[in-house]
Structure 1
Amino acid sequence: MPMNPALQLTAEELEKKVASLHFFKEVGRHDPEQLQILIQQSHLYSVAPGETFLKAGEQGSWMYFLMRGKLLVCDPLDHSKVIGVLIPGDVFGEIAVITGHKRTQDIVAPGLIREAVVFATDFACLHAKPEHNPLTLPTKLIVYRQIVHILRWRIELYRSRFPDHPMVRVPFNLIHRSPAGDTEEELQEQRDYALFLADRLQQLNTKLGPINNDVGDVLS
């Protein structure tokens, strides 16, 4: 994670920036005060052309939302090997948030085009003990449900690309939501399910290679 945010914005300015992000809309719709807590743990970053934003081997509790521009997913040993492209609306960093594993690829801004803008939120509070956690149970459930949705969607991309591969044919719809809803039991189920999906996705990334947007025409 970069040491200093490139763009110093007020909480009000950050809130305007996240207005387009469904992830945060759900939190704000349920509890505006909880949204403010997440915003207080967020930064907006400007990534200059050619700059390395994230490096393989790093660990962190931050999740990232690309707001503008493009970012390249690159081989950490050779940035000329572009594995995928992130475009506005893409989310990245969620596997490290859930599993605590080190990042496996570098995230780099391509040269010769305008800067990229990334919204970043520290989700370390997801793992804090209840007595030290500013997030309420409903908010944590919203966050985990959103992360589960992202992870399932990424695995579905593998299913569409490799429909007959045995690794993607294994069922992954294992969660059974508590009938009452919004309970600590459901939160634990969502945590377990998110970890299961993140581990599965990391295995697919390792065995089959990451699936991102088309790497062609990355400088357009």
Structure 2
Amino acid sequence: MEIKPLSDYPREAVDRLLNVIHLFRDIRAASAWQYDVVLKRSRLVSLAPGERLLAAGDVDQWVYFLLRGELNVHIDSGDGAAGQDARPLAVIRPGEVFGDLSMLLAEPRSANVSAAPTSRDTEVLGVDCTLFGDLADFSLLHVSTKLIFYRNMVHSLRWKLEVYRSKYPDHELANSHRRLKLYTGPKNSREELMALAEQARALAQILLDWNAEFGSGELVDEGADMSDFLESMLS
């Protein structure tokens, strides 16, 4: 595994790369200074075929975006083996966000995530989300920036839950996320931030319940394939 801070790459190339990720694009449009703060807490990770990125039981606050390649999700077999030869519980493809459930629920990771054995040059962007976790600390990030983060998280989670709902409309979980109360108070406020964070955690728990039943294998790709971007943008 090779881990590099974004500062190791030309800034113009980094900007072009991250412009395809809604979270970074939205923060950059709102504030160049806040964008720089988030960049300093982000890194690119390169994985060899079959190499593990995350392990079940890990506790951290990193959220990841797959830029290139393919990742497999496995559950430990009980003897500590990752079960790399078994069929993966789920497959993560370019454009997808992962690691967000553990971060939002402050729980240990529930599965191993590794580069697929046939995936060459797997590239992952990691963001240290301790920046966003303390809702009362605005020493580094403004309320507006944290609002962008939680709006993106809520949108992503609702999208994934709608995919499950469309596939299993009669399931008891199908309408769970639609029953959550939406925020109707003052916009762009600390009250909205607290409400969005609470909503994101509730949505994450519902998605975790779906995943427990279906292994998260029913989710479709969330974004376009980014595999052509990395080589050209980071050179």
Question: TM-score band (shorter)?
Answer: 0.7 to 0.9
Task: State the partner residue of 1:32.
Answer: 32
Q: Secondary structure at the match of 1:153?
A: helix
Counterpart residue identity of residue 25, structure 2: K
Alignment match of 2:219 (pick from 206, 212, 216): 212
Change (3 A) 1:30 1:6: closer
Task: State the partner residue of 2:74.
Answer: 74
CA contact (8 A) 1:86 1:212 kept: no
Question: How big is the shift at 1:131?
Answer: 4.6
Q: Which whole-Å CA distance do the structure 1 matches of 2:143 and 2:27 have between them?
A: 11
Q: Which whole-Å CA distance do the structure 2 matches of 1:36 and 1:164 have between them?
A: 45
Q: Which whole-Å CA distance do the structure 2 matches of 1:177 and 1:129 have between them?
A: 17
Question: How big is the shift at 1:43?
Answer: 0.2
Alignment match of 1:109 (pick from 99, 104, 115): 115
CA contact (8 A) 1:84 1:213 kept: no
Q: Secondary structure at the match of 2:19?
A: helix
Counterpart residue identity of residue 168, structure 1: A
Task: State the partner residue of 1:164.
Answer: 170
Question: How big is the shift at 1:202?
Answer: 0.9
Q: Which whole-Å CA distance do the structure 1 matches of 2:119 and 2:190 have between them?
A: 47
Deviates more, 1:7-16 or 1:107-116: 7-16
CA contact (8 A) 2:56 2:109 kept: yes
2:181 matched to 1:183? no
Task: State the partner residue of 1:197.
Answer: 203
Question: How big is the shift at 1:201?
Answer: 0.9
Deviates more, 1:54-63 or 1:107-116: 107-116
Q: TM-score, normalised by structure 2?
A: 0.82
Task: State the partner residue of 1:16.
Answer: 16
CA contact (8 A) 1:66 1:91 kept: yes
Question: How big is the shift at 1:73?
Answer: 1.5
1:16-165 mapped onto 2 (5 Å cutoff): 16-77=16-77, 78-79=83-84, 80-128=86-134, 130-131=136-137, 133-165=139-171
Indicate the percent of aligned positions where both proteins have the same amino acid: 29
Q: Which whole-Å CA distance do the structure 2 matches of 1:93 and 1:11 have between them?
A: 27
Q: Secondary structure at the match of 2:88?
A: strand
Change (3 A) 1:107 1:213: farther
Deviates more, 1:60-69 or 1:8-17: 8-17
Question: How big is the shift at 1:11?
Answer: 7.0
Which string of whole-angstrom CA distances, capped at 9 and with x for unpartnered residues, describes residues 128-155 of structure 1? Answer: 3645641100000010000001111111
Q: Secondary structure at the match of 2:150?
A: helix
Which string of whole-angstrom CA distances, capped at 9 and with x for unpartnered residues, describes residues 147-201 of structure 1? Answer: 0011111111111121111122335353433443101111111011011101111
Question: How big is the shift at 1:82?
Answer: 0.8
Counterpart residue identity of residue 42, structure 1: S
Counterpart residue identity of residue 129, structure 2: F
Change (3 A) 1:85 1:213: farther
CA contact (8 A) 2:176 2:206 kept: no
Q: Secondary structure at the match of 1:169?
A: coil
Identify the structure with bigger relative contact order (alpha carbons < 8 Å, sequence gap 6+). Answer: 2
Deviates more, 1:185-194 or 1:174-183: 174-183
Change (3 A) 1:186 1:71: same
Q: Which whole-Å CA distance do the structure 2 matches of 1:103 and 1:131 have between them?
A: 25
Is there any run of 5+ residues in structure 2 with no aligned partner, and where?
78-82, 222-235
Change (3 A) 1:42 1:11: farther
